[in-house]
Structure 1
C-alpha cells in the first residue's frame, strides 16, 4: 500500500522555518515537534534565510513576527470583505431585476 505524500503550504513552510530562526532552537528539535523530516525543515530554513538575506541586501527589512501576524490578519479580513462585496453585488442585481417586474 502506498502512502499519500504530504504537501505543505508556503505559509506553513515559512512559519516552521521562522520557529527555528526566531527561537534559536535546532532544526532537529523543531522537526520532531512538528513531526516532519529534519532534511525537509532544513531546506525550508535555508530558503527562508536566503529570502531574509536578499531582503537585507536590497535595503528592505524582513517582517517581524508581529508584522507577519498582522499581515495575515489583514489578508483574512480583505478576503472576507471581498466575499461580502461579491454577495452584495449579486443581491443588488437580484433586487434590481425584481423591482422592474
Structure 2
C-alpha cells in the first residue's frame, strides 16, 4: 500500500504576467477557480492563493493611495517622494 502513494508534483515557477492572466480569468466570473485550475493543469490551492493575493494587493493600493489628514492631506507615496 505504501508504494501506491502519489508522488508530489514538482514545484513550478510562473511569471507575474501568467499569474495575472489566471487571476483575471477567475475574476471574470464565467469559470470557477477549480475549472481554471483544471484547464491550465494547476493546483486549485495555488490559483486560490493567487486570487487572494491579487485582492490584497488591490486593497493595499487603494488604501495607500488615499490622502491622510495626519500627512497634511497627502498620500503616503507623496510623502515618501518629498523626503527623497
Q: TM-score higher than 0.5 here? A: yes
Q: TM-score range by the shorter chain?
A: 0.5 to 0.7
Mark the runs of 5 or more structure 2 residues left unpaired by the alignment: 1-7, 67-84
Mark the runs of 5 or more structure 1 residues left unpaired by the alignment: 61-101
TM-score, normalised relative to structure 1 = 0.49
1:47 matched to 2:53? The reply is yes
SS of the equivalent of 2:12 reads coil
RMSD of aligned residue pairs (Cα, Å): 2.3
- Cα deviation, 1:12-39, whole Å, max 9, x if unaligned, reads 1122112111x11321111111110000
**Higher percent of residues as helix:** 1
- Cα deviation, 1:27-62, whole Å, max 9, x if unaligned, reads 1111111110000101000010111111122237xx
- The residue correspondences of 1:1-101 to structure 2 (distance < 5 A) are 4-21=10-27, 23-24=28-29, 25-59=31-65
TM-score, normalised relative to structure 2 = 0.57
User: RCO greater where, 1 or 2, for CA within 8 Å and sep 6 or more?
Assistant: 1
Structure having the higher Rg: 1
